[in-house]
Amino acid sequence: MEIRPANKADLARLIAMSEEAGPAARWSAQQWLDIFETQIPARLAWIAEESIAGGKASAAGFLVAQNGGAEWELENIAVLPEFRRRGVGRGLLSALVAQARCLGAERILLEVRDSNQTAIRFYGSEGFQLLGRRRGYYRNPDEDALILVHQL
């Protein structure tokens, strides 16, 4: 698996992956475009690729984070179903932590649906801890968000 910074040439692949990964990861084309064109807010995006037959690379997942100086925010992470439980998410998250440390961040925050126990366990295994709760943060269905933090 290779994890590399995403660029504007990856836009179609990122949009397709976000649609395939499920509703939690879905962003509009404009939201994706803003990452590469406006940089408001400043963001970093990574794409994970796995080699497939014929030496081609298949997109397996992505991660987007806001670079907020001392405090970063993991905004979006998704792994395609056929690549789950193969270390792709862990690799993407490790890339984020390494980059944030390198740029002097003190902590990384994220929000996750209260019902998403798989993600909560995953983040916990990577050093994230519960910081708080945002009541009624999510819609369709209405649900609280847990705020998790990883101190660097």
AA identity, residue 131: L
Enumerate the active-site residues: 111, 123
CA 31 to chain CA centroid, Å, is 14
Q: Are 147 and 131 in contact (CB under 8 A)?
A: yes
Q: Are 1 and 79 in contact (CB under 8 A)?
A: no
d(CA 101, CA 137): 29
d(CA 140, CA 152): 33
Burial class (CB in 10 A: 0-12, 13-18, 19+), 5: exposed
CATH architecture of the domain covering 1-81: 3-Layer(aba) Sandwich (3.40)
Residue for token digits 């890339």?
A: 95
AA identity, residue 72: W
pLDDT tens column, 35-53: 888 877 788 999 999 877 7
Average pLDDT on 61-74 reads: 93
Minimum mean pLDDT among 12-16, 94-98, 124-128: which range? 12-16
Burial class (CB in 10 A: 0-12, 13-18, 19+), 136: exposed
Q: What percent of the chain has pLDDT over 70?
A: 96
Q: Taking the domains of the chain in order of start, what are their residue ranges?
A: 1-81
